[in-house]
Chain A
Amino acid sequence: MKKGILPTAAALLVCAALLGVPALWARLSDARRLNSVQPRPTLAGALNEEARAIPVLYELHSGTSDTSSTDREELPEPDLADLCAEAAEPVSALADAGVISAGEKARLDALLAQAPLQYYRQNSGALQSLSLVWPQQDAAASTAAIHLSRQTATGVYVSFGLSVGGDLDAETRLRAWLVMLGVDVLGDWEPVDTGSYADTFALYSAKGQATAYCTAAAGWVNLQLSKGSLTF
């Protein structure tokens, strides 16, 4: 009986020591955890930090647009030639980026060389839009027009409407435009089903919480960057 006391006591001591294991575990993992830097969880549907660093996307989301006061602003008679020059700058940038072909650029430059028949300017706070309309050039086409929208804060154009077309398809144009905007670095642009709009190609980025699409119809090219996901 005496022989049994020592091992029994040892076993009970081990048991008692084991009882302290959870507390010890907690202390050790606390020390490890509190001294470490942990990744911040991503909030579903929120703008990604990477996208946030891109001004055009940040502005797209945080810019306040006062849609209620989007009255066409009749400015004191501007110089039409200045307007054309203002529109020519992004057009040539589009051509440099390969969104429109050289031929299309030439046709647009030809339009811009003429004085427009009509112009509209619109300022919604976050966005400034400019529309230039020319009379029809030949019997086949209707009126020729150029629509531009740029962010007030960044000055980046996020919407184009150009009465040219046919040289390039919608996807080529859209991808080239995203490169030009610098948002292609997000790398998660996914094609969106455009349903019945066969001439439209759309891409959506979850990080950027934005949809970009391009409609390339005969004689008309439309480029648009919008926040959120669009359904067609």
Chain B
Amino acid sequence: MTFSSKLTLGILLLLCLTLSIGGGWTIDQNLQAALLSSQTQNTAFHQRERSALEQALRADDARSTGAAARSVQNYAGELQSSVGAQSFCFSVMDEQGTTLYSSLPRAVRYDVLRSAIAAGSQSVTFCYPGSSRYMVLASPLQGTMEGLWLVSVYDITALFTERERQLRQYLLLEVTALVLAGTAAAWFSHRMTRPLRALQSAARSMAEGAYDRRVPSCRQAEFDALGQDFNQMAAAVESRVDALQQESQRQTRFVAAFTHELKTPMTSILGYADLLRMGEQPPERRRQAADYIYHESKRLETLSRQLLQLLGLQQGGIILSPVAVRLVFADVRRSLPQDFPAAICTDCDPGAVVLADRSLLGDLVRNLVLNAANAGPKDGAVHLACTRREGGWELSVTDTGCGMAAEELPRITEAFYMVDKSRARRAGGSGLGLSLCAEIARAHGTALEFESRPGKGTTVRLLLKEGTE
């Protein structure tokens, strides 16, 4: 059962209870008030009747039952001729219960009159034959003979008819009120719980994978707070899922790139070997095939070496020792091929000593230098620098080449990511160079910092701890 229908039914029940009890009480009070006023009025009528009868009896000086009966008959006769038989309704009886006169309706039975007399002159009794309601008042007639009683009967059916009408009208009113209130409550509670349903639908969508679903803000403070919390949770989940997806995509890309990098040279090697193996190829083709086989094998060798180095770095730590930066720069310069297309400009503090693994740091700088040269520096030079910074020395490799777009920067250290693939391939890059650099930097407890602008050039910085020789 939903909260909104519970609320609606609760309101309906409470309202129905209040209206029913309140209505019952009010209508009963109305009848009570009408009865009281009718009692007062009828008492006055009764007293008037009594006085008039007493006067009549006195006037006739009726001292016996017979005389009294005659006197009452006369009085009634006069009354009837002046106001009509319908407007009065009384009975006179003596102490023994003999009725001297009666103009009562048949439905009012004799014992009713006796019990009214028994109740005495200070009381009001009722009788209700069928659907009629009568008020019965009895009083002794004084002044002439003892034991004469006047019993007046007044029709109060109208009061009860009026009460029935009020009941019917109230029932109609109550039903109308309930229908209106029920509709309003249902609408209102439905409206009130709308944020909850929005939350539910959002939670379901999220369960089905729509992690970008959010709930809109709403007016009720509690629901709004809940919605905000939900949105925060959703945002946390979404970012976590995104991170996982990115990681997974990175893995997929790595596998795809690795497969490509592995299979491409293998295809050439196998194809040319097969060609040579089949038959006597012309000398020119034979030379070309051998050349391709050699270079592609070399490529595979570089790939496997770098991959193993990368795996080794990721698995085990390295031993750091103080190394003079100028020696590292000299190593790099020596390791470059004779036909290296760019000049190397070094700007190094001769006393700069850092904590590093000399050969790994050399590989790192060399890779950065190769990349810088590939970028095609406009001044034909790669600048190496080492400057003092707080907490150590900052090594930097700067070129004035093509540079990279900002959106490329986060991915350049990813394995096999190549900004310009054909250029990189021509230069013999495997796509692992920068990954390796980043991994070496990580092993030294620091990180590479790239700053690049397309068309202007790139600077890579590395902060290393100072070492003492």
Contacts and interface: CB of A to CB of B under 8 A. Distances in A.
B124 interface: yes
A196 interface: no
Given A19-B175, A62-B143, A40 B24 contact: no
A227 interface: no
B47 A22 contact: no
Given A21-B21, A38-B123, A40-B137, A4 B1 contact: yes
A17 to B, nearest CB: 9
Contact of A15 (B125, B139, B178): B178
Q: How large is the interface on B (under 10, 10 to 19, 20 to 34, 35 or more residues)?
A: 35 or more
A49 B123 CA distance: 11
Interface stretch (A29-37, A84-92, A104-112): A29-37
Judged by DSSP, the binding face of A is: helix
Interface stretch (B8-16, B101-109, B214-222): B8-16
B17 A18 contact: yes
A23 interface: yes
Contacts of A29: 28, 31
B21 A23 contact: no
A43 B47 contact: yes
Given A22-B24, A29-B28, A62-B54, A34 B126 contact: yes
Interface string B292-310: 0000000000000000000
Given A3-B1, A8-B1, A62-B51, A19 B124 contact: no
A26 B27 CA distance: 8
A18 B16 contact: yes
Interface in B352-409: none
Contact of B16 (A19, A41, A52, A153): A19
Interface string A5-28: 001100110110011111111100
Contacts of A21: 20-21, 23-24
B73 interface: no
Contacts of A33: 35, 126
Nearest to A47: B47
Contacts of A220: none
Interface string A128-166: 000000000000000000000000010000000000000
Contacts of A3: 1
B281 interface: no
B133 A19 contact: no
A78 interface: no
B40 A41 contact: yes
A31 B47 CA distance: 28
Judged by DSSP, the binding face of B is: helix
Contacts of B224: none
Nearest to B164: A26
B331 interface: no
Nearest to A49: B121
Tell which of A18, A22, A34, A38 has the most Cβ of chain B within 10 Å. A22
B174 A40 contact: no
B121 A11 contact: no
Interface string B24-51: 1101100100011001100110010001
A153 B174 CA distance: 64
Q: How large is the interface on A (under 10, 10 to 19, 20 to 34, 35 or more residues)?
A: 35 or more
A25 B24 contact: yes
Nearest to B127: A34
A204 B17 CA distance: 53
B44 A43 contact: yes
B40 A18 contact: no
A186 interface: no
Contacts of B133: 34
Given A29-B28, A49-B122, A19 B171 contact: yes
A178 to B, nearest CB: 21
A3 B16 CA distance: 24
A24 B28 CA distance: 11
Contact of A26 (B28, B174, B178): B28
A40 B167 CA distance: 28
Nearest to A41: B40
A153 B52 CA distance: 18
Nearest to B35: A33
A40 B123 contact: yes
Contacts of B2: 4
Contacts of A35: 126
A93 interface: no
Contacts of A23: 167, 171
Tell which of A20, A37, A46, A153 has the most Cβ of chain B within 10 Å. A37
A195 interface: no
Contact of B36 (A15, A34, A41, A43): A41
B20 A22 contact: yes
A76 interface: no
Contacts of B119: 37
A15 B12 contact: yes
A18 B12 CA distance: 11
A41 B41 CA distance: 9
A183 to B, nearest CB: 16
B125 A37 contact: yes
Nearest to A7: B1
A15 B13 contact: yes
Q: Nearest 7 A-B pairs (CB), nearest first?
A: A25-B24, A21-B20, A22-B24, A4-B1, A11-B9, A34-B126, A18-B20
26 contacts: A4-B1, A7-B9, A8-B1, A11-B13, A12-B9, A12-B12, A15-B12, A15-B13, A18-B16, A18-B17, A19-B20, A19-B174, A22-B20, A22-B170, A23-B171, A26-B24, A29-B31, A35-B126, A37-B123, A43-B47, A49-B121, A52-B142, A58-B143, A62-B51, A62-B54, A153-B143
